[in-house]
Amino acid sequence: MSSSTATQSYVPKTRVGKVTDYVDSRVGGSGIIKEFGRKIFPDHWTFMFGEVALYTFIILLLTGTFLTFFYDPSMAETHYEGSYLPLRGVEMSVAYASSLDISFDIRGGLFMRQIHHWAALLFAASVAVHMLRVFFTGAFRRPREFNWVVGCTLVILSLAAGFTGYSLPDDLLSGNGLRIIDGVMKALPVVGTYLSFFLFGGEFPGTMIIGRLYVLHILLIPAVILLMIGVHLFMVVLHKHAQFPGPGRTNTNVVGYPVGPVYAAKAGGFFFIVFGVLAAIAAAFTINPIWNYGPYDPSPVSAGTQPDWYIGWVDGALRLMPGTIGNFDFEFMIPFPWGVNALSLNVLVPALVPATIVFALMFTWPWIEAWVTKDKREHHLLNRPRNAPTRTAVGVAGVVFYCVLWAAASSDLIATHFLVSLNDVTYWLRFLVFFGPVIAFMVTRRIALALQRKDREIALHGRETGRIVRLPHGEFIEVHEPVDDYKRYKLVSFDSPEVMVPTADANGKVSLLDKVHGRASRFFFEDRVAPVTPKELAASHGDHHDEIAGAKDRESIASH
Amino acid sequence: MIMADSSNGAPGTSVTVATPGRELDEFENPGLPPHRPRLADRDRRAEKRAERQVALLFFISVLGTLLFFAGYFFVPLDQSVERLRLQNLMLGLGTAFSMLGIGVGIVHWAKTLMPDHEVTESRHEIRPERDRQDAEKIVNDVLDESGIKRRPLIRNTLLGAALLAPLPAIAIFRDLGPLPGNSLKQTMWDTGVRLTRDPSGTPIRASDVTIGSAFHVIPEGLNEIENKLEEKAKAVVLLMRLDPEELNPSPGRENWGYDGIVAYSKICTHVGCPVALYEQQTHHLLCPCHQSTFDLEQECKVIFGPAARPLPQLPIEVDDEGYLVASSDFQEPVGPSFWERG
């Protein structure tokens, strides 16, 4: 074979050389090292959120595997005989009893449960924050649209993983959560009752649901998440990481640290830091003390309960929707030839509409924005959020919408903690869920534009030093310190698209789509702050010379 | 706008404002700022110090691991929650120090002692255009050779078969559960079934129920049946006694209570949480999950929150021995609405 001649001509001398030669001549691998060993990754603290998500997922796999060795997903009746005295002899499901055993009779079991639950909360949080980073910096633009969609899918999967796991201990709290899911499912027209019976294996709660959620939680969902993470990272390698604009950084290069040794050390070390922080939280802060809740029973319920944070917004929406307004009933009784059917919009609207709006906008945003900007270029330089005021405002409006619904999931706790009327809290939140995003949009856009103006000011005239100087002819001025080329470049290097006015075709007509596009373009870019140009900078320096008397004095002060 | 050419990555080029053409309205990329050496790059002693700090952090990790084992082996669990707490704290802090020592140590090492020169690498086209043309040709050739476009009979029958073939994969899930049938429309309650306390199952005399009191109620015999939780999920009832003057029964429901004692389903008509909170003064029932509020004085009409229907009332009477019994089952399905509810 030709390879045998190749191995003969190269005789490795170092130990590393001998190992790589042995491996590479059998299964290959030197190519991978050549590709990744010195690959450049740009550095920015906001790029760590995705890393946190990946690392918490690994921690979830590790701790979760430990828990599966002791957890038993059976809903068979048993009497608790473990170490926790207050529940001794109480009738409960095997699933709940084994969860108690993990907490009280397996050394380190409670720690593993706590770290697993905290890691799940952090996983969902870091996925969400990572997604916000990608959104606000415009990293979803061409060529990364597909990876954005993969990311959106991962958000949904992380919610699914969290929810299926939340119910497994089969305690009172999670059981009531399942009952809410059952209620929402039954509200679905035509198929709802059947879906509920198929999921629960009969009437709620049945004896099947925990085992079924368990399979979803430990097999199906993690497998799909792993697959999606693989695709996600493959595309990151393919595209090379995007970078913030700045001196030396262009759309055609990557500036940063090589994987070996710096980036690998930082990223690898960061895994241990995430693990350590989670361990510290799990050591000191109790999460989900299932022994306080007791086994699931359809009759009792505890007040002031909330779901895990990532499901909170849907629960909040359920709380905000009124069942009736005046005499208008949101539950419709629809007469059909075969009888009357019930359509519960008071349940369906809050359970489905907000989530549908948020996820539909999320999945399609790269194409919506590309349609408005008509921008088909590749983008490897990120936006500073202030330099895309409308996008940033849309994002903040979405965050506010989400947060109002999330706050609504705590409406009763807000009322009891701040000694205000529960009904008033609900009325205010109903108002805010509609107007909060609008207010947030307007305020954010103004702030972004103001920050852009400030950047212009600094680029043109330098930083305010706070030093007030009296000139010989009596005028007081504040000394501005000019910024250097590198800092200025950071402030002036951004795109500022202008409004695109629809043009008429040969017949002098403007098509409806073009009109809509013109409107959208105006909505996005009507208010804009253009980056400083070299001409403007030169002119601003020129000013000093032909202005009022004393310009010379100023120059001499400023140059000190 | 800043689609600068690749030469802009080179350091040392400064801002020029007078170059003709495109550059007139945008700044030229000044290139990477000059590298600033760190303390450890210039000072041998700082370098040594950083080295010792990294080693110290790794040593802290060793101590953390030891702390974990101390907690694991020397804090025996003895059924007290305090012991468990202590063990959890030691295991957790041990792991935290063990992990943070390694993590912070490595990052500190990377930041102080490894080279911190930023490196520039150029990006390449994601895939060359030639590849795309080749791929297009290959796909077209493959489609052509397969003849799928020229032979609609094959194409259409395959399409039909492929549409039908997945259906068994859906149908096979039919046995996940039984069909609902009538099960959601009936509960364990029936004529003469005694009202008993939840969870003990002891029957309740009308005289036990004083004005202002509330009882959590299950049907007699519930604790003995096989599918206890499923029946309980429908049958739980709240029993309260008010001044009969304050109740305003609608026509036909005057005899559903007994001397101011009324029984209502405890399952919320919104999404099924137990409506467990009774405000004695206002005679309101409140669901703690989504705050639907029901007014006892108006036959549990919804006065606030997301529920749309009143709680169903259980008609009750008193048997010969003075115990409260149901006169019949609920007159409508309990709990959240469902399509077939009607």
Q: What pLDDT is stored for residue B216 in this prediction?
A: 95
Query: Is residue B325 packed enough to be buried (19+ CB in 10 Å), middle (13-18) or exposed (0-12)?
Result: buried
Q: What pLDDT is stored for residue A552 in this prediction?
A: 55
In angstroms, rounded to a whole number, what is the distance separating the alpha carbons of residues A152 and A355? 13
Which tokens is A486 given? 């590198």
In angstroms, rounded to a whole number, what is the distance separating the alpha carbons of residues A105 and A468? 71
Chain B residues within an 8 Å CB radius of A272: 99-100, 102-104, 106
The answer to whether residue B88 neighbours chain A at the CB level (below 8 Å) is yes
Whether residue A541 is predicted with pLDDT greater than 80 in this model: the reply is: no
Whether residue A270 is predicted with pLDDT greater than 90 in this model: the reply is: yes
Q: Residues of A numbered 47-76 whose beta carbons fall under 8 angstroms of chain B's beta carbons: which are they?
A: none
Q: 3-state DSSP call for residue B304?
A: strand
Note whether A265 contacts B341, CB cutoff 8 Å: no
Q: 3-state DSSP call for residue B19?
A: coil
> What does each of the 342 residues of chain B score in pLDDT, given as a tens digit?
333 333 333 444 433 334 444 445 788 899 999 988 999 889 999 999 999 999 999 999 999 999 999 999 999 888 788 889 999 999 999 999 999 999 999 999 999 999 988 999 998 887 788 889 999 999 999 999 999 989 999 999 999 999 999 999 999 999 999 999 999 999 999 999 999 999 899 999 999 999 989 999 999 999 999 999 999 999 999 999 999 999 989 999 999 999 999 999 999 999 999 998 999 899 999 999 999 999 999 999 999 999 999 999 999 999 999 999 999 999 999 999 999 987
CB-nearest partner of B24 from A280, A531, A534:
A534
CA end-to-end distance (rounded Å), chain A: 74
In angstroms, rounded to a whole number, what is the distance separating the alpha carbons of residues B300 and B275? 11
Neighbours of B263 (CB within 10 A): 24
Q: Residues of A numbered 212-241 whose beta carbons fall under 8 angstroms of chain B's beta carbons: which are they?
A: 238-240
| pLDDT level of residue A303 (50, 70, 90 thresholds) | confident
Note whether B272 contacts A204, CB cutoff 8 Å: yes
* Percentage, residues of chain A above pLDDT 90: 79
Residue A533 contacts residue B38 (beta carbons within 8 Å): no
Residue A169 contacts residue A288 (beta carbons within 8 Å): yes
B248: nearest Cα among B297, B189, B178, B313: B297
Note whether B337 contacts A344, CB cutoff 8 Å: yes
At residue B27, what is the residue type? Answer: F
Q: Which residues pair with A333 in a beta bridge?
A: A342
Q: Is the dihedral of CA A386, A392, A396, A399 positive or negative?
A: negative
- This model of the complex carries an ipTM of 0.89
The mean pLDDT value for A482-495 works out to 91
Residue with tokens 């001794």: A88
* Interface A-B: count of C-beta contacts within 8 A: 382
CB-nearest partner of B291 from A179, A331, A411:
A411
B270 contact partners, CB below 8 Å, separation of at least 6: A183, A318, A323, A346, A347, B287, B289, B290, B292, B305, B306, B307, B308, B336
In angstroms, rounded to a whole number, what is the distance separating the alpha carbons of residues A226 and A64? 14
Q: What pLDDT is stored for residue A34 in this prediction?
A: 87
CA-based radius of gyration for chain B: 38
Q: Closest chain A residue to B310 measured between Cα atoms?
A: A323
Helix (H) or strand (E) holding A99: helix A94-104
